[in-house]
Amino acid sequence: MNFQYSDDHIAIRDAAREFAENEIVSSAVERDKTGEFPTEIVQKLGELGFMGMMVSPEWGGAGLDTVCYVLAIEEISKIDASVGVIMSVNNSLVCWVIETFGSDEQKERFLRPLATGQKLGAYCLSEPGVGSDATQQATTATLQSDGSYLINGAKNWITNGTKADHYIVFAQTDPAKKHHGITAFLIDKGMPGFEVGLKEDKLGIRSSDTCSLGFTDVRVTADRILGTVGQGFKIAMETLNGGRIGIAAQALGIASGAMDKAVRYSFERYAFGKPINQLQTIQFKLADMQVKIEAARMLILRAARNKDAHESYIKEAAMAKLYASKIAMEVATEAIQVHGGYGYVREYLVERALRDAKITEIYEGTSEIQHIVIARQLLKEYEAS
């Protein structure tokens, strides 16, 4: 497989890197402390086309491929994984869904402002008491005599939850059909009965926005159904397959950023009369960290290229997320070790990489779920051969 970057890939990567260094780095540490949402940064990302990267220009997007997308996510996440996940959710979990399953009217009404950065989106699948088993949706959407639906229930762990304008909400429209009775709806902030909870105080990605949502007789009309009635679970799973590529790229960015800091510090810190990067034990650590980063990058690029080629990428995306999130934790831990005691304090920044990395093993499918996805796909391939 050819992993050589095109001129467009290089240009997008460099543009994202420049933006991160010029627009994000100066406020990243303070926002991590305060939890402040990067509103102006997100607006600028939208103006540059980074909030609808894979959306067709017909609907206001940049019309770029998945490889461009993961390169941009990595560069942004090297500097601030909070901004990386905001960008990832809007691109992978919201814009992609509406473009793939929405009507032209929905694309004009919802997708265009999301892709251009005028609006922000959120994806609402997780529920209290229902973690990895997304088939058990307790939120209901009850059909009314006028053809509308009343939505009741709650969602939690919603990224962009307090700041989003549009929400994709999954609800049970026919409990007798179990997961085949789940439907996806487009809901706006401010609709009667729709309540946005308080922002969660998180371990990492603290500048991103995460909260719970409540729905009490929220009335939605049939023109807000994404796809068809009962297609919601299929939509949710297909969305997460692609979303995992973005989270893998976020994890890679966290690892790459930690690696950069460790290497730079290894030139500055002296021990036994020489820079610590002249000590074999440090060299071995740096070598292992780099091997893991490059291996993760190859898995991510393979999944991205499969998606762009319209080939199967379910297993590849799961492998990329599983491994990239694992090595993000490992590389961040070793980066702290290279820094010694300094790595344990905020001033040297690598401790934030470890806090940010942990969530990549949890959201958009835990590492345990990725093992299941990979195994099932692997067995299917053997059965078909």
Active-site amino acid positions: 364
User: What token pair was written down for 73?
Assistant: 């996510």
Nearest Cα to Cα of residue 357 among 237, 269, 253, 263: 253
CA–CA distance from 59 to each of 96, 265, 301, 316 (Å)?
11, 45, 26, 28
3-state secondary structure the chain: CCCCCCHHHHHHHHHHHHHHHHHHHHHHHHHHHHCCCCHHHHHHHHHCCCCCCCCCHHHCCCCCCHHHHHHHHHHHHHHCHHHHHHHHHHHHHHHHHHHHHCCHHHHHHHHHHHHCCCCCEEEECCECCECCCCCCCCCEEEECCCCCEEEEEEEEEEECCCCCCEEEEEEECCHHHHHHHEEEEEEECCCCCEEEEEECCCCCCCCCCEEEEEEEEEEECHHHEECCCCCHHHHHHHHHHHHHHHHHHHHHHHHHHHHHHHHHHHHHCEECCEEHHHCHHHHHHHHHHHHHHHHHHHHHHHHHHHHHCCCCCHHHHHHHHHHHHHHHHHHHHHHHHHHHHHHHCHHHCHHHHHHHHHHHHCCCCCHHHHHHHHHHHHHHHHHHC
